Amino acid sequence: EAGVAQSPRYKIIEKRQSVAFWCNPISGHATLYWYQQILGQGPKLLIQFQNNGVVDDSQLPKDRFSAERLKGVDSTLKIQPAKLEDSAVYLCASSLSPTSGRDEQFFGPGTRLTVL
């Protein structure tokens, strides 16, 4: 079974530029998550989708971050414009069950973003 795919794996941009990350979850997984992990910290949930609807985006900085999952499958996370403090690893995860918190999240390898 293929895992969660993310691209690119690494990205270096200058502040005020825009960047987009792509995630393809495990086939059949209804729930998709985007996390931000700053070096030395635990992952912080940015947004959670169930199929193509947003379940939770309370920690997403909506003035600069946006995410979509138009067909309920793959997803894109965008930052526009980027700030220095956005340097982090952006992790995508997916899970099977759409109705319960008691399921396992499968994480992708992450995209390491460096903002100069």
Binding site for another protein (CB under 8 A): 4, 31, 33, 35, 41-45, 48, 55-56, 58-59, 91, 93, 95, 98-110
**Residue 28 vs residues 2, 23, 55, 66, 85: alpha-carbon distances, Å:** 11, 14, 18, 24, 34
Contact 34, 91 (CB under 8 A): yes
| Residue placing its CB nearer to another protein in the complex, 19 or 93 | 93
Query: Residue 42 Cβ, how far from another protein at the closest point, in Å?
Result: 4
Q: Return the number of the residue (27 or 99) whose C-beta is nearest another protein.
A: 99
Which residue, 59 or 80, is less far from another protein as judged by CB?
59
* Cβ atoms of residues 94 and 103 within 8 Å: no
